[in-house]
Amino acid sequence: MRTLLLIVASILIILSLLQSGKSEGISGAFSGQQGLGLFSNVKERGPEKIISNVTMGIGIFFFLLIIIIRIIEKV
Tens of pLDDT, residues 20-47: 776 555 555 555 555 555 556 667 788 8
How far apart CA 13 and CA 11 sit, in angstroms, is 5
Name the residue with higher pLDDT: 47 or 64.
Answer: 64
Question: What is the chain's mean pLDDT, rounded?
Answer: 82
The answer to whether the CB of 48 falls within 8 A of the CB of 20 is yes
pTM of this prediction? 0.71
